[in-house]
Amino acid sequence: MRIGVLCGDNWHPAITVIEGLRPLEPRGFQFEFIVDTADWKSDVLEQYSAVILSKSNRRSPEDAEPWLTEEIQMDFDRYVAKGGGLLVIHSGTVGYANEKCFRELVGGVFTQHPEAGWVTLEYAEDTSWFGNEYPPFKIFDEHYFVNMFDEQAEIFMTSSSQSGKQPAGWIKRHGRGQVCVLTPGHYLEVWLNPHYQRTIESALTKVARKGQQAD
Please give the Cα distance from 83 to 185 (Å, whole number): 26
User: Which helix (H) or strand (E) element contains residue 80?
Assistant: helix 70-81
Please give the Cα distance from 49 to 209 (Å, whole number): 5
Mean pLDDT, 10 residues at a time, the chain of 215 residues: 96 97 96 93 92 96 94 96 97 96 96 98 78 83 96 93 97 96 98 96 88 39
Q: Considering its fold, how many domains does the chain have in total?
A: 1
Q: Terminal CA-to-CA distance of the chain, rounded, Å?
A: 16
In this prediction the pTM is 0.95
CATH of the domain at 59: 3.40.50.880
- Containing structural domain, residue 35: 2-213
